[in-house]
């Protein structure tokens, strides 16, 4: 009987995939912990541990179902630490006659596997991951002939296609989007609830990683690692989200608060991005919960959550496959400044950045507004090289895989794509940060001052950004008001001088 080898990547842990319906005597599966993957960017230690532990759990789940599984641990003697050579080793060891894999979600790995398949002398075949709601090419085909890819149009198509929050061909309540209701500052911390966690001791895995010589960023409590690393844990977090957090999610999804890391966010992104749970089952469960608890949860909370998953998440993946590999080098503003060293430590006098970065280093997590309007906002205003931005975001967050990271950072956050993802740059002064958080309380900088010794850097950098990019932005219809306001300001020169001082002193802000 001819033997088939099937590869499972670290973000392809989908036990519901048709591959795993029935064990087959002639099929072997392989998962690999490799320095190739720990080293291509400097990752957060919790991200490395999360991936490896989830992979080990998944391999055991497959064995329990009767599948044949080969697993390369990082310290195995026969682990070459490279994908191609490990595969070649197994092909030779077992006399493999055909090789199969699921389509990778990273361009880097897609290219690597395509090249490998051209080199081997046995038949190869690629399968869909059976996870996403759309194919790689759906978004590009949906917007064929369009200059811009409007997310709202795509989102409505997804709602219709999967009959989510729909009344026939129309949205329930007659309204598609409740984004306007999702912008509230948290004023009552007593509303907050502790996140659902699954503490586990990962000391032995940490010993392996330390001995390997792998490098990482961030911190970890090896005795109580809390991220979900099994499907069952992911489903428990989903249930907890529906019951405890969903009632306030939409209302406060953009809020930031120093006293709580996760607020009402689900913490499901890691479990979804490694495919322990699927977007459709998450959305279906949330919708189902809402239908039976409308006295407790209003539709604005539900729609805001569902839009992030079937709208934004699928949309970003579609952009990725439509625009890569060129997307990874787009730099609309030609920014080239190096990322300040304090992005790796959190040691800055700017309270908002201190908290957002510190939280990221401690938990490998920050929600979308912290990423977009605090860290990303500063990076854009300061003119940081988008490649530096990509590496930081890809490394520091446990849910960051390139297909979702680079489209959010180089696109939405940095506007480096010139408007493919966003219709305008997302920048703000201290006013927005203060409006949505308590970060400005007790800060060394004054949120109201544009100039002076303790003026908040965001304020002068905001106007400096618009001034230096006027040739690229002045004709943008969503920005015209900013330039009209700027033209009437009498302290332009002082503001620009203040911004220059901040940038020259960027390492000490």
- Say what the pLDDT of residue 179 is: 76
Q: How crowded is the C-beta side of 305, counted as CA atoms within 13 Å?
A: 33
286 & 349 share domain: no
- Pairing between strand 27-32 and 4-7? parallel
Element (H, E) at 253: none
pLDDT score of 450 more than 70: yes
Measured CA to CA, the distance from residue 494 to residue 455 in angstroms comes to 12
**CATH number of the domain that residue 206 is part of:** 1.25.40.80
- Say what the pLDDT of residue 1 is: 67
Helix H, strand E, coil C: the string for 449-474 is CCCCCCECHHHHHHHHHHHHCHHHHC
Answer whether residue 338 is part of any domain: yes
Answer whether residue 390 is part of any domain: yes
Complete DSSP assignment for 288-343:
HHHHH-TTT--HHHHHHHHIIIIIIIHHHHHHHHHHTTGGGG--TT---BPPPGGG
Element (H, E) at 367: none
- Pairing between strand 27-32 and 68-72? parallel
pLDDT score of 259 more than 80: yes
User: What predicted TM-score, i.e. pTM, was given to this entire model?
Assistant: 0.95
Query: Beta-carbon neighbour count of residue 160 at 10 Å?
Result: 14
195 & 291 share domain: yes
Q: What is the mean pLDDT of residues 64-83?
A: 97
Burial bucket for residue 321 (CB in 10 Å: 0-12, 13-18, 19+): buried
User: Domain total for the chain?
Assistant: 3
pLDDT score of 226 more than 70: yes
Q: Residue 239's closest CA among 284, 294, 296?
A: 284
Q: What is the mean pLDDT of residues 43-54?
A: 98
pLDDT score of 422 more than 90: no
346 & 242 share domain: no
- Say what the pLDDT of residue 379 is: 98
Which of 270, 294, 323 is the C-terminal boundary of a domain?
323
The domain of 216 spans 138-323
Query: Beta-carbon neighbour count of residue 490 at 10 Å?
Result: 6
Cβ 205 vs Cβ 54: under 8 Å: no
pLDDT score of 147 more than 90: no
Answer whether residue 175 is part of any domain: yes
357 & 248 share domain: no
17 & 150 share domain: no
Answer whether residue 59 is part of any domain: yes
Answer whether residue 132 is part of any domain: no
Answer whether residue 377 is part of any domain: yes
Number of residues in the chain: 509
289 & 182 share domain: yes
- pLDDT level of residue 184 (50, 70, 90 thresholds): confident
99 & 151 share domain: no
Which of 303, 323, 343 is the C-terminal boundary of a domain?
323
* Residues in contact with 152: Cβ distance below 8 Å, sequence separation at least 6, in sequence order: 176, 177, 311
Q: Residue 207's closest CA among 82, 398, 74?
A: 74
Helix axes 492-504 and 457-468, enclosed angle (nearest 10): 110
- Pairing between strand 124-127 and 98-102? parallel
421 & 314 share domain: no
310 & 354 share domain: no
Query: Beta-carbon neighbour count of residue 21 at 10 Å?
Result: 9
* Average pLDDT value for the chain: 95
Answer whether residue 289 is part of any domain: yes
pLDDT score of 182 more than 90: no
318 & 213 share domain: yes
Q: What is the mean pLDDT of residues 286-315?
A: 93
Cβ 268 vs Cβ 234: under 8 Å: yes
**CATH number of the domain that residue 34 is part of:** 3.40.50.620
316 & 402 share domain: no
Cβ 375 vs Cβ 357: under 8 Å: yes
198 & 244 share domain: yes
Q: Residue 268's closest CA among 152, 132, 367?
A: 367
- Say what the pLDDT of residue 2 is: 83
Which of 77, 102, 127 is the C-terminal boundary of a domain?
127
**Span 317-366, pLDDT tens digits:** 999 999 999 999 999 999 999 999 999 999 999 999 999 999 999 999 99
- Say what the pLDDT of residue 250 is: 85
pLDDT score of 173 more than 70: yes
**CATH number of the domain that residue 447 is part of:** 1.10.579.10
Answer whether residue 133 is part of any domain: no
pLDDT score of 228 more than 80: yes
Q: What is the mean pLDDT of residues 275-295?
A: 96
- pLDDT level of residue 180 (50, 70, 90 thresholds): confident
């Amino acid at each position: 009987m001819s033997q088939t080898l099937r590869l499972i990547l670290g973000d392809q842990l989908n036990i519901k995939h048709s591959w795993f319906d029935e064990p087959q005597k002639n099929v072997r599966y392989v998962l690999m912990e490799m320095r190739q993957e720990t080293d291509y960017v400097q990752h957060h230690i919790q991200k490395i541990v999360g991936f490896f532990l989830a992979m080990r759990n998944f391999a055991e789940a497959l064995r329990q179902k009767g599948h044949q599984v080969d697993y390369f641990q990082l310290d195995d003697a026969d682990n070459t630490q490279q994908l191609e050579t490990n595969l070649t080793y197994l092909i030779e060891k077992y006399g493999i006659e055909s090789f199969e894999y699921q389509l990778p979600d990273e361009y880097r790995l897609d290219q690597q596997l395509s090249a490998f398949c051209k080199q081997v002398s046995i038949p190869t075949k690629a399968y869909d991951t059976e996870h996403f709601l759309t194919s790689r090419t759906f978004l590009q085909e949906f917007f064929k002939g369009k200059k811009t890819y409007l997310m709202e149009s795509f989102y409505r198509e997804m709602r219709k296609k999967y009959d989510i929050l729909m009344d026939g061909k129309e949205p329930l309540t007659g309204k598609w989007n409740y984004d306007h209701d999702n912008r509230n500052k948290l004023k009552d911390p007593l509303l907050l609830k502790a996140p659902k966690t699954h503490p586990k001791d990962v000391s032995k895995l940490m010993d392996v990683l330390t001995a390997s010589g792998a490098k990482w960023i961030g911190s970890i409590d090896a005795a109580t690692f809390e991220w979900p690393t099994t499907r069952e844990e992911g489903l428990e977090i989903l249930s907890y989200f529906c019951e405890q957090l969903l009632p306030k999610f939409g209302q406060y999804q953009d809020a930031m608060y120093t006293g709580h890391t996760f607020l009402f966010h689900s913490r499901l992104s890691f479990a979804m991005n490694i495919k322990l749970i699927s977007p459709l089952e998450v959305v279906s469960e949330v919708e189902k919960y809402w239908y039976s608890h409308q006295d407790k949860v209003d539709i604005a909370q539900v729609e805001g959550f569902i839009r992030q998953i079937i709208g934004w998440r699928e949309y970003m993946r579609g952009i990725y496959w439509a625009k890569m590999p060129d997307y990874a080098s787009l730099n609309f503003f030609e920014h080239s400044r190096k990322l300040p060293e304090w992005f790796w430590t959190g040691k800055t006098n700017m309270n908002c950045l201190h908290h957002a970065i510190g939280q990221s280093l401690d938990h490998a997590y920050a929600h979308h507004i912290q990423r977009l309007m605090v860290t990303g906002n500063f990076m854009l205003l300061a003119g940081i090289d988008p490649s530096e931005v990509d590496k930081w975001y890809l490394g520091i967050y446990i849910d960051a895989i390139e297909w979702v990271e680079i489209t959010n950072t180089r696109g939405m956050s940095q506007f480096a794509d010139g408007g493919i993802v966003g219709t305008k740059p997302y920048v703000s002064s201290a006013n927005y940060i203060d409006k949505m958080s308590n970060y400005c309380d007790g800060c060394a900088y004054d949120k109201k001052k544009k100039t002076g010794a303790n003026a908040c850097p965001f304020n002068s950098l905001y106007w400096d950004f618009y001034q230096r990019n006027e040739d690229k932005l002045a004709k943008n219809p969503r920005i015209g008001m900013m330039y009209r306001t700027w033209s009437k300001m009498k302290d332009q020169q002082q503001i620009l001088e203040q911004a220059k001082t901040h940038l020259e002193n960027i390492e000490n802000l």
